[in-house]
């Protein structure tokens, strides 16, 4: 089922940051979101992932199909790499974590505690988590932060494999992943007026 966003407006901290956003991501396709800092990429992705309600507009096809990866990886420092992946696989009702370990070359690290990994290694583990969710739409917020070029290539390969398996991906990033994907610039959708400006109590605040 394609992810379809219609005339969406999202808010952060009670202020509208973006409105009128519409796009569709079909199965097997990816969409790259671009926009300057503060454009509302994270807020948009959190809204699509269901972490916060939209101000207005409609999101179709997102329930129970989304695997979200934000700025934090959701790893437990005192669990090993394998235990971390096992936990998420079980939460999502899956049991195979070997493919994810292989895709991100985590074999040499699999018995290390996640707390002893470097930032880039943690990120690789965080991205490997997506593969054990069994979900079809990946919603990724700056997935390549702290990854080196080799790891970015691993990530791009994993996304390509996911797309070939009829999955889809919505990625906010600034670097070129070399994916065959459409791109959407979010800058034009930025809310022109702050909703509070002109409100009657403004002079008193």
Partner 1 sequence: MIALLRRDLLLALRAGGGFGLGLAFFLIVTVLVPFSVGPQSDLLTIIAPGVLWLGALLACLLSLDRLLALDFEDGTLDLLVTAPLPLEAALSIKALSHWLTTGLPLVVASPVLGVMLNLAPGGFVWLVASLALGTPALSVIGTFGAALTVGIKRGGLLMSLLVLPLYVPTLIFGAEVARRGAVGLDAGTPLTLLAGITLATIGLMPFASAAVLRMTLR
Q: Which residues sit at the interface with partner 1, rule CB under 8 A? A: 46, 49-53, 64, 66-68, 70-79, 83, 86-88, 90-93, 129
CB closer to partner 1 out of 160 and 195: 195
DSSP string across 125-176: HHHHHHHTT--SEEEEESTTTT--HHHHHHHHHHHHHHHHTT-EEEEE-SS-
Select 23 or 87, whichever has its Cβ closest to partner 1: 87
Residue 64 C-beta: closest distance to partner 1, Å: 6
Q: Considering the complex, state which of residue 49 and residue 154 has its C-beta at the smaller distance from partner 1.
A: 49
Cβ(120)–Cβ(147) under 8 Å?
Answer: yes
> Within 13 Å and on the Cβ side, how many CA atoms surround 110?
16
Measured from the CB atom, is 71 or 157 closer to partner 1?
Answer: 71
Cα-based distances in Å from 139 to 3, 68, 122: 11, 5, 18
Q: Beta partners for 183?
A: 32
Instruction: Tell me the closest approach of the beta carbon of residue 146 to partner 1, in angstroms.
Output: 14
Q: Rounded to the nearest whole angstrom, what is the least distance from the CB of residue 169 to partner 1 in the complex?
A: 15
Name the DSSP class of 105: T
Nearest-approach distance from CB 25 to partner 1, in angstroms = 17
Residue closer to partner 1 by CB (options 78, 99) is: 78
DSSP state, residue 42: H
C-alpha Rg value of the chain to the nearest Å? 18
**CA-CA-CA-CA torsion sign (101, 105, 107, 108):** negative
CA distance 107 to 20: 45
CB closer to partner 1, 137 vs 177: 137
CB of 151 to partner 1, least distance (A): 19
Cα torsion 87, 91, 97, 103 to 10°: value is: -100
Question: Nearest approach, Cβ of 92 to partner 1 (angstroms)?
Answer: 6
């Amino acid at each position: 089922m394609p992810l379809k966003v219609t005339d969406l407006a999202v808010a952060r901290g009670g202020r509208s940051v973006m409105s009128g956003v519409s796009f569709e991501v079909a199965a097997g396709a990816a969409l790259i979101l671009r926009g300057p800092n503060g454009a509302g990429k994270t807020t948009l992705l959190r809204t699509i992932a269901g972490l916060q309600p939209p101000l207005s507009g409609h999101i179709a096809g997102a329930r129970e199909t989304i695997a979200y990866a934000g700025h934090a990886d959701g790893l437990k420092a005192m669990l090993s790499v394998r235990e971390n992946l096992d936990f998420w696989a079980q939460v999502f009702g899956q049991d195979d974590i070997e493919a994810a370990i292989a895709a991100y070359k985590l074999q040499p690290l699999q018995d290390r505690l996640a707390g002893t990994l470097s930032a880039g290694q943690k990120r690789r583990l965080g991205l490997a988590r997506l593969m054990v969710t069994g979900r079809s739409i990946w919603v990724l917020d700056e997935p390549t932060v702290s990854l080196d070029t080799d790891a970015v290539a691993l990530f791009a390969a994993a996304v390509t494999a996911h797309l070939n398996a009829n999955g889809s991906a919505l990625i906010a990033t600034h670097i070129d992943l070399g994916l065959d994907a459409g791109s959407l610039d979010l800058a034009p959708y930025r809310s022109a007026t702050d909703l509070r400006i002109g409100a009657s109590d403004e002079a008193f605040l």
